[in-house]
Each structure stands twice: as structure tokens, then as C-alpha cells.
Amino acid sequence: MFLLQWCVGFFYGEAAMVIEKVLNNNVVVVRENDVEKIVMGRGLAFQKRAGDEFDEDLIDKTFILTNQKAANKFQQLVVDIPIEHIELAEEIISYAKLKTGKN
């Protein structure tokens, strides 16, 4: 069955990623090209487990932290904070960068 799903995805260009770790219904950890990424999206991991695939179209935000200690802390924070709060914080940071001219 997996081979059939892979073939369908490969030939028809279906975008799918494999979950490495589920943090909550909206946030998962994936590994792509040996780079650990934290991806967010509403209902992204609903009824999913490590090893399951999900559609990349559901991703709203992607975080790549190169420092492992920072990545671990971020994962711990994301588990406890509602997605709405994280999105609001990201909007505030983006607005502040825009106003200060720092990108």
C-alpha cells in the first residue's frame, strides 16, 4: 500500500511530508534533507502519528532552528501555547521588523 501511495504521489506531484514527532494537533516536527523543521497549520496533525504523511498544503508556517538547544526549547513552548497566540506573536514581530526596518 505504501509503495502505491508513493508512486501516486511521485507521478502526480502530490506534496506530502512524513511526521517525525507530533507536538499537538497543529504542530509537528519533520526532517527534510537532514534538516529538522517545525511546521504549523490548523489541524495539521489531527489523528496523526510519527511516520504518517500529511499534505504540505496545510502548512501555514515553517520554523528552522539550527541551534539544537533553541529547537528543543521552541518545541516545548509550542506544545503549551495555543496556535492563535503563536500566530499573533509572529505578526507582532513581523510588524516590529517592518517599522524598524530590520529584517
| pLDDT by position in tens, the chain (length 103) | 333 333 344 444 545 689 999 999 999 999 888 888 999 999 999 999 999 998 888 899 898 878 888 888 888 888 888 888 888 988 998 999 999 988 7
Minimal CA–CA distance to 75: which of 31, 25, 38?
38
What is the model's pLDDT at position 2? 37
How many other C-beta atoms lie within 10 A of the C-beta of residue 77?
A: 11
| Residues 8, 11, 15, 21, CA torsion sign | positive
**How deeply is 41 buried, as exposed, middle or buried, from its count of CB atoms within 10 A (0-12, 13-18, 19+)?**
buried
Taken in order of first residue, the domains within the chain and their CATH numbers are: 2-100 (2.30.24.10)
pLDDT for the residue 52: 94
Please give the Cα distance from 51 to 97 (Å, whole number).
37
What confidence score (pLDDT) does residue 16 get? 67
